[in-house]
Amino acid sequence: MKRVFLSAIIWLAGVLPAMANDLPDLGDPSVALLSADQEHRLGRAWLRQLRGTVPLLTDPLVQEYAEHLVYRLASHSDLEEPDLAIVVVNAREINAFAVPGGVIGLNAGLFLNAGTEDEVAAVVAHEIAHVSQHHFLRRYADAQRMNRAVLAAMLASLAVAIAGEADAGMAGLAATQAAAIQQQLAYSRHHEREADRVGMQTLQEAGMDPTAMPRFFEKMLREQSSLSNAPEFMLTHPVTESRISDSRARALQAPPHRLTASRYFQLIRARLLAGFYREPADAVNYFVHQDHGGATVIQHANAYGLAIAYTRNKQFRQALAVIERLQQAAPDEQWYRLARAETLLAMEDYERAIRELRAILEVMPGNYTASIILARTQLAAGAPGEAADLLTPLLEKRPWDASLWQLAADAWGKSERLAQAHHARAEVLFLHGSNDKAYDQMRYAMKLSKQNFARHSRLKARLREMEALAEEDF
């Protein structure tokens, strides 16, 4: 897949100059390339390519937190009725990206390297501004040489660069011919400053700290000066001293903001850090030295990270002891109950885990994370039918969620609902860009549902929709 993308990029680098003189006048950049609906479909098509190219996190708690943060900011932005697709890339590099159609991506490394939630929010607000101001399309319209097919190929080239993989990412794009294409991925200074300005306004409207933007950009600039390679974010969003100065001056004009530590950001940061150690014992060793008790937000986060690390290292008794300590300090914190349920699941104590998770869902009906963990527990406990019934209403709300479809495929398959299992597998494959395999699974599902006219008709219509989306020429 990666070689295909890169080959397309190199070929396009050769034909772009010839095409430049043949393209019609694009007119007004705000409407020239794509309608809003086309822009949405292009972004989702690109997202399918991305899923098949880079590793995405499937941790439901991280996903839920990222979605909450992005939508919190989007609700205070220039986006009208935002319909966003939010993904978290399983990579330690600092990076974030936005493409047409409201696709927002955040590398896990962004959370690991930020000191506060407001710093992550500053980057998110900046990316939302790129979407709301249509920068990706406008810069190509301004160039007067970008047609729709080339735009789609540009998005494909961005997909292989996101995770910072040397063999297929920025290093691959540094070849002489491909360099011209890579240069187009960088936003212009004007667009970067506009995204800073609009993003900072979004931060203020959301009640977050506007000074977090220059502060985090300064951090990245210092990192760039101390490392041979720049953070991935800076390759497509060049950070300069003048931009930092401008954003700092703008932030100082804003009303004073009271700094507070976000409990959930610190917990997510600790959770990610515990998972990024290749050896769970190393994560345990790190958090043992960080956990000194205490009642501050940071101290609780370090204890939470220790509990996650203990569970990964199969030190279940120690994990439950730490979680008990956290629950005594914050009896109503549901994240600690979720951690306890995850530990019980890892211990294969399914009955207690199910009891814990059902108690959480009584307090928070339909909660995404608790539902996912409960479904996984029910599958492990040999109750796939219950897991399938639990997941069905979630799929109606989140038809774009590939990990949810995968879990449903397992549940339906193990409960002998084969037509539904093949349908779910088709959705997983389609969402990962494996179109032909997805069509095959849909045909299996249709064959198995011939006696159910309503289901057969829905599957047939969905197959046609998949084919139309995959074949759409932008």
* Residues belonging to the active site: 127, 196
- 161: exposed, middle or buried (Cβ count in 10 Å: 0-12, 13-18, 19+): buried
Judge whether 247 and 200 are in contact, CB under 8 Å. yes
Sequence-separated (6 or more) residues with CB below 8 Å from residue 320: 340, 343
- Greatest extent of the chain over all pairs of C-alpha atoms, in Å: 70
How do beta strands 103-107 and 85-89 pair? parallel
Closest alpha carbon to 103 in 47, 144, 62, 49 = 47
Distance CA 418, CA 455 (A): 12
Question: Are 361 and 378 spatial neighbours (Cβ–Cβ below 8 Å)?
Answer: no
Q: Is the dihedral of CA 282, 66, 131, 156 positive or negative?
A: positive
CA distance 169 to 178: 11
CA distance between the termini of the chain: 20
Q: What Å distances lie between residue 395 and 69, 457, 461, 464, CA to CA? A: 22, 19, 18, 20
DSSP-derived pairing of the beta strands 103-107 and 96-99: antiparallel
